[in-house]
Amino acid sequence: MPGEWVNQRTGEWAKRTTNVKTDEKNENDNLNSRVSEKAKKAIRHFRDLDVYQNALETGLRVYELSKKFPDGERYALTDQIRRSSRSVCANIAEAWRKRRYTAAFVSKLSDSEGEAAETQVHIEFAVRQGYIGKANSRQSMTRTNTYSASSCA
């Protein structure tokens, strides 16, 4: 009896892990195809960077999701999650402007990654409070992980 329960729980965990890995693989495939399409195009502005475009899309998505937060969160979680998600884009833009100076460039990318992590924490709070669904949070978290990894690559 206990062995069956363990096998059942392990099977459920394996299914969830497989689904998440499949979702991440699909997301990565989409990014890789976009990268190969744009690899031919010269990057002349920070807006041409995939990492900036992904951060902007995620920031806009976070903004839309946070519109549904309760009024009591207007000056707390709503404000914080919007600021941190916008700050990711702003720090990438600043890093681009300072790319001639390696230390400043790396510092701004590090700030961007920190803001992405902060956004992830706020998303987790919103999920646990029931303000957004797990499917929306998984999509947003995957995107923030993607641009965090991209900015440091």
| Interval 89-105: pLDDT, tens | 999 999 999 999 999 99
Phi-psi region of 70 (alpha: psi -120 to 50; beta: other; left: phi over 0): beta
Mean pLDDT of the region 86-90 = 96
Lowest mean pLDDT among 7-16, 49-58, 113-122, 124-133: 7-16
Residue 116 has pLDDT above 70, yes or no: yes
Alpha-carbon gap, residue 107 to 18, rounded angstroms: 35
Listed in sequence order, the residues at least 6 apart from 110 whose beta carbon sits closer than 8 Å to its beta carbon are: 152
User: Does this model's pTM top 0.75?
Assistant: no
* Residue 125 CA from chain centroid, whole number: 15
Q: What are phi and psi of 41, to 5 degrees?
A: -90, 135
Higher pLDDT, 143 or 108: 108
